[in-house]
Amino acid sequence: MTALLPAGEVARAAELLRAGELVAFPTETVYGLGADARDGRAVAAIYAAKGRPSFNPLISHFPDAEAAFAEVEPDDRARALAARFWPGPLTLVLPRRAESRIDHLTGAGLDTLAVRVPGHPLALALLRAAGVPLAAPSANRSGGVSPTTAEHVLAGLSGRIAAVLDGGPCEVGVESTVLDLSSPAPLLLRPGGVTVAALEEVVGPVARPVGTEPGTLRSPGMMLSHYAPGLPLRLEAREVAADEALLAFGRPLDGAGAVWNLSEAGNPAEAAARLFAGLRWLDAEGARLGLRGIAAMPVPAEGLGDAVNDRLRRAAAPR
Ligand code: TXA
Ligand code: MG
């Protein structure tokens, strides 16, 4: 049985984590599936519960930058980014310190570690109460749609984890931006809650990985097919059929069998916050009505639109 813990039960959630159990918790981006990052057995249980390949490293979460930088070696760029964006939806990949006590399974054996200080009061309270760094991937089965509510977590992981701490819906709705600072040029491994434009104000030009599968080599988790709903998804829809579900943006196309509007006002940040819930809802509604697929209207690449388009491309990729 997986316990659904109300927000007031942070102490109980922390106690479970210290005992080596898995506890899902809210962050500002998506729900994370937490375990003590120093405990190899607990971290192994994350990979097992998600069905995630163990070559795909996890992000370690900390209550503040000082705790994060005790495990990795920050340079001036990392310090400036942390000062500007933490707590918040930015993950930094940095060289692991020789004395780091993060289990090697958390970092999938790499000589770098991904670290982040989440910008959600409940996540920070949990990290402080647990007193250990938390390894936390998104709290969904590997390859599926990320969870932005406690109900989404239970839909995928009920019975596989000890508890989920309920903090209501996540505000940002797409995962953190992952920036690799382990080499001379900052490299964007995953667009996310902090825009590239905002990063560039602090560290100058940010490179994007080359190749058809963004980040594949540097970030083992950025496989092309990911965030996959059950129904096939097609992008850049300019028209829609009656036997299709529509993921709309702005004024919806006419004629769909079911509609979820990411943002009637055409706001990319609102679209990000409503993206994963929309994919889940259209998937269920489409199955119920016997629809053949989901058509997604174009979303402009401005602001969080960049991260939204990245997730949509992966959701639409061949499985
Ligand atoms: O918003 C988020 O980042 C959420 C919340 C829970 O914090 N977490 C999350 O974790 O999205 P996950 O495991 O679903 O995605 C982590 C990404 C993966 O693409 C992984 O490959 C990459 O970060 N990553 C982790 N450690 C890395 C490393 N040392 N080098 C390169 N990429 C790394
Ligand atoms: Mg994920």
- pLDDT tens, 228-255? 889 999 999 999 999 999 999 999 999 9
Q: Which tens digit of pLDDT belongs to each residue from 147-190? A: 999 999 999 999 999 999 999 999 999 999 999 999 899 999 99
Q: Are residues 290 and 154 in the same domain?
A: no
Q: Do 11 and 53 belong together in one domain? A: yes
HSE toward the beta carbon, residue 99, CA cutoff 13 A: 3
pLDDT of residue 220: 54
| Same domain, residue pair 156 and 305 | no
Q: Which atom of ligand 1 is nearest to the CA of 114?
A: 26
Mutate which of 25, 29, 55, 59 for ligand 1? The one with the most ligand atoms within 8 Å of its CB, which is 59
The CATH number of residue 119's host domain is 3.90.870.10
Mean pLDDT of 135-146: 96
Q: 281 C-alpha vs ligand 2 centroid, how far in Å?
A: 19
Question: Which listed ligand is nearest to 54 at the C-alpha?
Answer: 1
Judgement on whether residues 184 and 245 belong to the same structural domain of the protein:
no
Together in a domain, 156 and 275: no
Per-residue confidence at 62, pLDDT binned at 50, 70, 90? very high
Q: Are residues 238 and 192 in the same domain?
A: no
The dihedral sign for the CA sequence 148, 151, 155, 161: positive
Does residue 264 fall inside a structural domain? yes
Within this chain, do residues 14 and 57 fall inside the same structural domain, yes or no?
yes
Strand partners, 165: 5
Task: List strand residue ranges (DSSP E) for the chain, in order.
Answer: 3-5, 23-25, 32-36, 59-61, 90-95, 112-116, 134-135, 163-165, 177-180, 187-190, 233-234, 244-248, 258-261, 293-296
Ligand 1 centroid from CA 178, angstroms:
7
Mean pLDDT, the chain, as a whole number?
95
Same structural domain for residues 271 and 311? yes
Are 142 and 264 part of one and the same domain? no
Tell me if 197 is assigned to some domain. yes
The residues near 8 (Cβ < 8 Å, ≥ 6 apart) are: none
Looking at the domain assignment, is residue 119 inside a domain? yes
Cβ-in-10-Å burial (0-12, 13-18, 19+) of 289 comes to exposed
User: Looking at this protein, which amino acid is placed at residue 207?
Assistant: A
Q: Domain count of the chain?
A: 2
Please tell me the distance from the alpha carbon of residue 41 to that of residue 23, in angstroms, as a whole number. Answer: 14
Output the CA 295–ligand 2 centroid distance in Å: 23
- Is the residue at 215 inside a domain? no
* 210 has a pLDDT exceeding 80: no
Give residue-wise pLDDT tens across range 67-86. 999 999 999 999 999 999 99
- Domain membership of residue 126 (yes or no) is yes
pLDDT for residue 219: 56
**Was 227 annotated as part of a binding site?**
yes
* Domain coverage including residue 294: 233-316
Predicted confidence band of residue 217 (pLDDT cuts 50, 70, 90): very low
**Domain CATH for 252:** 3.40.50.11030
Residue 214 lies in a domain: no
Tens digits of per-residue pLDDT, 248-277? Answer: 999 999 999 999 999 999 999 999 999 999
Record the tokens describing residue 58, joined without a space: 């996890």
116, part of any domain:
yes
pLDDT above 90 for 215? no
Task: Identify which ligand lies nearest to the alpha carbon of 43.
Answer: 1
Ligand 1 pocket list (CB less than 6 A): 27, 29-30, 32, 56-59, 89, 91, 93, 107, 110, 112-114, 116, 118, 136-138, 175-176, 178, 189-190, 218-222
Tell me: do 275 and 135 sit in the same domain. Answer: no
Q: Does residue 208 form part of some domain? A: no
Question: Under 8 Å CB-to-CB from 239, ≥6 apart: which residues?
Answer: 253, 255
User: 179 alpha carbon to ligand 1 midpoint, in Å?
Assistant: 10
Whether pLDDT at 209 is above 90? no
Per-residue pLDDT of 186-196, as tens digits, reads 999 999 999 99
State residue 319's pLDDT score.
Answer: 78
User: What's the pLDDT at 29?
Assistant: 98
pLDDT of residue 225: 74
